[in-house]
Structure 1
Amino acid sequence: MTASLLEVTDLDVIYPGGRGRKPFHALRSVSLDIRPGETVGLVGESGSGKTTLGRAVLGLAPVGGGSIRFDGRDISHLSRRERRTLAGDIQVVFQDPYSSLNPSMTIEQILAEPLTANGVEGRAARNKVKDLLDKVRLPTDAAGRLPKEFSGGQRQRIAIARALALDPRLIVADEAVSALDLSTQARVLDLFVEIQEATGVAYLFVTHDLSVVRHVSHRVAVLYRGEIVEQGDVAQVTGAPEHPYTQRLFMAAPVPDPDRQERRRAERLRMIEQQREQAEQAGAGGV
């Protein structure tokens, strides 16, 4: 079996409270791994901790326990200077394509910025920008235009191109298609898959949407209140989920048939009520 590229082991993330508030335990004993060229989907509702895990991998969240290892190296507590040395290996695509690009810079300047910071200049940088635009299926003349001249889907393609500039080995995609309409989502997800097949890059794909997970992931981890409650092969987890929370997520996913959607909604409400009753009975039994 291929050695893991990213290993998260028993990870705790604790945010300090301050002003009389208690510290917030955002993640508890979270463990997962990603192999080279693999996509692991990290799914959960808002507040589950999935974005926090992505931020911890990027060095943007405080690690209170456990470890994060990249290619065998512990990166849990790197300094800012040490973290910069990882920029070529770990990149990110954020959720909002409208705010993640500098509106005053041309696309060529946006894509050349990480190259220049790493010593690539002149003709080599221009050629790399052309190659990046080709990778994300944008015309060469896009280089001289501003972000405001592009649609949301096109801007997200530009953000993906920027993430690819330094040929990373891992990209954290944080709700990277949730701000797009469904048809644009599908095209951008296809692009992620194409790029992975061409480059071998690995993805940690953070999302609340199980349909997105099914589209791009090899394996899935489900987060609930800061803990992983289920993980495994994408077909197993999304096709026959075992944990009640994963089942509820599946029932909440929209389907095009209104009658089927209504039945799923009713089943989800029934499951929530049943689980509430079970929790109350367990609480009463412990008194």
Structure 2
Amino acid sequence: MTEPHLVDVSDVSVEYRTRSLRAKPFRALHSVSISVSPGRTLGLVGESGSGKTTLGRALLGLAPVTAGSITFEGADITHAKRRQRRALSRDIQVVFQDPYTSLNPAMPIGEILREPLGAQGVPQREARVRVRDLLDRVGLPADAATRLPRDFSGGQRQRIAIARALSLSPKLIVCDEPVSALDLTTQGKVLDLLLELQRETGVAYLFISHDLDVVRHISHDVAVMYRGEIVERGSAERVTSEPTHPYTRRLLLSSPVPDPDEQATRRTQRLELARDERQEASR
């Protein structure tokens, strides 16, 4: 028997009203459907403006869903009220792109990590023990609890953001470009940490990125977004090695490689694909 999905996004559309009363609302998502299974990672990939972040925000209740539905563990959360969202925060967490702006610069790390625990009624003594465990789990020293975010590197700050997301033992973490602001070496370390934590805890990820190579490293399944629609989906191995849609092939060619000659070849192929797409659209 197939295990039920943790999250089901079904035919979801998102529209934003413009300042002009006469202009039509801008539709950021067009009847998008995805699902995330327990303990697995769905990579959501696309260029800036493709709608991938909007989809993540819709799941978090931060974008206006104008059509379709979102269910979590079978319960409809499409238009969840504030009280329901607060309860959901125990099971659904988020890690944003910029770890510094997502951390209160005036609060010591220990307080940042204890804050969501206190909001859920966890006693202070238990919260302090859990904070020490979280810091250890993400590879930071215990004295990090007394220091401020500015005392840490970008990679360390992202580890703190991940620790905060893990503090309530969620079932799903929405990772919105969590490594794009980091150098390549640090990216690899953070991705390996996310994989290790998934093996240990069974947490599921919706991993949003513009980089197909990053998505391939961490995802079980991949959905490719283009202009507010899913244009390709499948296993990470298949989509990232044998893409069928021209846009996915162009994304794959956009990934940097260390060989300058191969990089030049990829650039030429990418430009040719973009030209072919323009010609096809003009017909």
Q: TM-score over 0.5 for the alignment?
A: yes
| Structure 2 residue corresponding to 1:147, chosen from 121, 146, 149 | 149
CA distance in 2, matches of 1:5, 1:49: 22
Question: Counterpart in 1 of 2:181?
Answer: 179
Q: What's the CA shift for 1:172?
A: 0.2
Question: Counterpart in 1 of 2:4?
Answer: 3
Task: Give the secondary structure class of the aligned counterpart of 1:81.
Answer: helix
User: Deviation per CA, 1:237-286, whole angstroms, max 9, x where unpaired?
Assistant: 00000001001111111111100000000011111112222222x2xxxx
CA distance in 2, matches of 1:159, 1:36: 22
Q: What's the CA shift for 1:78?
A: 0.8
CA distance in 2, matches of 1:220, 1:148: 35
CA distance in 1, matches of 2:244, 2:55: 23
Gaps in structure 2 of 5+ consecutive residues:
none
User: Deviation per CA, 1:70-100, whole angstroms, max 9, x where unpaired?
Assistant: 0000100011121111010000000001111
Question: Counterpart in 2 of 1:69?
Answer: 71
CA distance in 2, matches of 1:246, 1:154: 32
* One-letter amino acid matched to 1:258: P
User: Deviation per CA, 1:182-237, whole angstroms, max 9, x where unpaired?
Assistant: 00000000000000000000000000001110110000000000000000000110
CA distance in 1, matches of 2:235, 2:20: 44
Question: Counterpart in 1 of 2:17?
Answer: 16
* Matched positions, count: 281
Root-mean-square deviation over aligned CA pairs: 0.8
* One-letter amino acid matched to 1:206: I
Q: TM-score, normalised by structure 2?
A: 0.98
Question: Counterpart in 2 of 1:252?
Answer: 254
Question: Counterpart in 2 of 1:103?
Answer: 105
Question: Counterpart in 2 of 1:198?
Answer: 200
Superposed structure 1 runs of 4+ greater than 4 Å apart: none
CA distance in 2, matches of 1:232, 1:216: 14
Question: Counterpart in 1 of 2:81?
Answer: 79
| Structure 2 residue corresponding to 1:130, chosen from 111, 132, 135 | 132
Question: Counterpart in 1 of 2:96?
Answer: 94
CA distance in 2, matches of 1:75, 1:278: 39
Moved more, 237-246 or 20-29: 20-29
Gaps in structure 1 of 5+ consecutive residues:
283-287
Taking only the aligned residue pairs, the percentage that are identical comes to 63
CA distance in 2, matches of 1:278, 1:83: 44
| Structure 1 residue corresponding to 2:48, chosen from 43, 46, 49 | 46
* One-letter amino acid matched to 1:16: R
Question: Counterpart in 2 of 1:118?
Answer: 120
Moved more, 99-108 or 118-127: 118-127
